[in-house]
């Protein structure tokens, strides 16, 4: 028998559907993702910490869940909302259903609601806080709970998802017959500061020839001084970049000493460290189909994105140029220092299952690290 679930929003509206995954109650900031595939990668992306993800594509779970398509060691989303959830799946790599996977990780999901109406509401009103519950039957009580949820900018989400230990990474790309390819590279040594890093970022750096060491943000400055890497990489992650003071301080200290690259939150941190400001987008960019223009070449890349904050181009100093723009809303998607070996992109060039238009950025960074 299907169990009833309720999704209640801070604006007073609510949706009644059915539960899948874990039973219970969860809360967070609602955002929507426009990708048609890759739900397992989305669920395990640490940048979604503190958020409830709504999928715009209606049928989710049809190819199940496997052991390889993960971006971290756990499901990171606070909740999951879909139109139609598949409890039966068909894929030769699959090991379990999406329902079983969410239940195993204690993540509450809801299906059978009008996700089009929900997404339209988020687009019109902006990001909304919400509660999913299989326990409380009174929507008014859940609306009140939603209104009391602290803003995501007030939470230290990076601390919840970043590594606590220093470790080396040598796993490269995935081969359907052989699995992940191990590469024991010697040089260049790239220190990845983990604010919630996706595994595929580490895989791309390794595939391009880098020796990768991953550092917790709290000790990164001290460890970089000790190990003297050839370059520094700032990862993606959740929440407000202004709260990540360790990252901002790190860039300011090493900006004239080491090549530095950042992705997503790492891009925003670099923008702040170089003198710019960031702001929160109305409903963010989340999906695998965002067109981005490289202003240096005129080339259009189809990109995957997952961010709620962006760099304000008007606040950037003269020695920092905007290299990439989002063609949907003209927001900043990439920056570069005019004199120092520092660049960053707001989108996700490493994204799996794709698009792969921007893989070249990892090759450029590894080559830059070898030169310095």
pLDDT at 1: 61
Q: Which two tokens stand for residue 105?
A: 């990780």
How far apart (Å, rounded) are the C-alpha atoms in residues 356 and 268? 22
Strand partners, 109: 20, 80
Enumerate residue ranges in the chain where pLDDT < 50: none
Contact indicator for 272, 248 with CB cutoff of 8 Å:
yes
According to DSSP, residue 348 is labeled B
Residue 108's contacts (CB-CB under 8 Å, 6 or more residues apart) are 5, 19, 21, 22, 23, 24, 25, 26, 79, 80, 102, 132, 133, 134
How do residues 37-48 score in pLDDT, each as one tens digit?
A: 999 999 999 999
Residue 372 pLDDT: 67
Give me the catalytic one of 29, 264, 285, 333.
264
Q: Which residue has the tokens 């304000």?
A: 312
Task: Give the domain ranges of the chain.
Answer: 4-149, 157-371
Residues 6+ apart with CB under 8 A from 125: 11
Between CA 372 and CA 368 the distance in angstroms is 7
Catalytic residue, chosen from 29, 208, 246, 350, is 350
Contact 197, 49 (CB under 8 A): no
Tally the C-alpha atoms within 13 A of residue 269's C-alpha that lie toward its C-beta: 31
Tell me whether residue 348 is one of the annotated catalytic residues. Answer: yes
∠ CA 335-341-344, rounded to 5°: 30
CA pair distance 249, 30, nearest whole angstrom: 31
pLDDT for the residue 59: 97
Nearest of 290, 300, 244, 234 to residue 267 by alpha carbon? 234
Name which of 68, 74, 64, 21 is nearest 39 in CA terms: 64
- Output the pLDDT for position 8: 98
The fold of 4-149 is Glucose Oxidase; domain 1 (3.50.30)
Q: What is the pLDDT of residue 294?
A: 97
- Whether the CB-CB separation of 24 and 153 falls below 8 Å is answered with no
Which residue among the candidates 99, 324, 337, 348 is catalytic per the annotation?
Answer: 348
Contact 333, 326 (CB under 8 A): yes
**How high is the pLDDT of residue 371?**
87
Determine the pLDDT at residue 108.
98
Instruction: Please check whether residue 208 is in contact with residue 363, taking contact to mean a CB–CB distance below 8 angstroms.
Output: yes
* Statement: 157-371 belongs to CATH 1.20.120.1200: no
350 is catalytic: yes
Query: pTM for this one?
Result: 0.96
């Amino acid at each position: 028998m299907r169990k009833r679930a309720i999704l209640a929003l801070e604006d007073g509206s609510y949706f009644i559907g059915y539960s899948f995954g874990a039973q219970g109650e969860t809360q967070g900031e609602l955002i929507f993702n426009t990708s048609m595939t890759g739900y397992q990668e989305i669920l395990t992306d640490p940048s979604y910490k503190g958020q409830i993800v709504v999928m715009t594509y209606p049928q989710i779970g049809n190819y199940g869940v496997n052991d390889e398509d993960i971006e971290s060691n756990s499901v990171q989303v606070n909740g999951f909302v879909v139109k139609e959830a598949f409890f039966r799946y068909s894929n030769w790599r699959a090991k379990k259903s999406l329902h079983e996977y969410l239940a195993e990780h204690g993540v509450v999901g809801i299906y059978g609601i009008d996700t089009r109406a929900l997404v339209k509401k988020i687009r019109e009103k902006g990001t909304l806080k919400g509660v999913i519950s299989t326990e409380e039957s009174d929507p008014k009580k859940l609306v009140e709970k939603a209104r009391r949820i602290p803003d995501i900018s007030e939470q230290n989400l990076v601390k919840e998802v970043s590594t606590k230990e220093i470790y080396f990474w040598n796993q490269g790309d995935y081969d359907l017959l052989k699995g992940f390819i191990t590469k024991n590279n010697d040089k260049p040594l790239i220190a990845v500061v983990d604010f919630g890093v996706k595994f595929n970022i580490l895989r791309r750096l390794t595939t391009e020839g880098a020796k990768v060491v991953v550092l917790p943000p709290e000790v990164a400055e001290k460890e970089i001084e000790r190990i003297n890497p050839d370059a520094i990489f700032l990862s993606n992650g959740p929440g407000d970049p202004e709260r990540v003071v360790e990252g901002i301080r790190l860039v300011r200290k090493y900006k004239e000493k080491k090549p530095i690259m950042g992705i997503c939150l790492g891009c925003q941190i670099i923008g702040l460290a170089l003198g710019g400001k960031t702001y929160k987008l109305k409903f963010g960019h989340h999906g695998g189909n965002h067109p981005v223009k490289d202003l240096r070449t005129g080339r259009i890349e189809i990109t995957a994105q997952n961010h709620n904050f962006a760099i304000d181009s008007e606040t950037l100093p003269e020695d920092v140029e905007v290299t990439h723009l989002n063609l949907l809303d003209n927001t900043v998607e990439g920056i570069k220092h005019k004199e120092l070996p520092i660049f960053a992109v707001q989108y996700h060039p490493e994204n799996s299952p794709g698009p792969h238009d921007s893989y070249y950025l990892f090759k450029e960074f590894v080559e830059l690290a070898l030169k310095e």
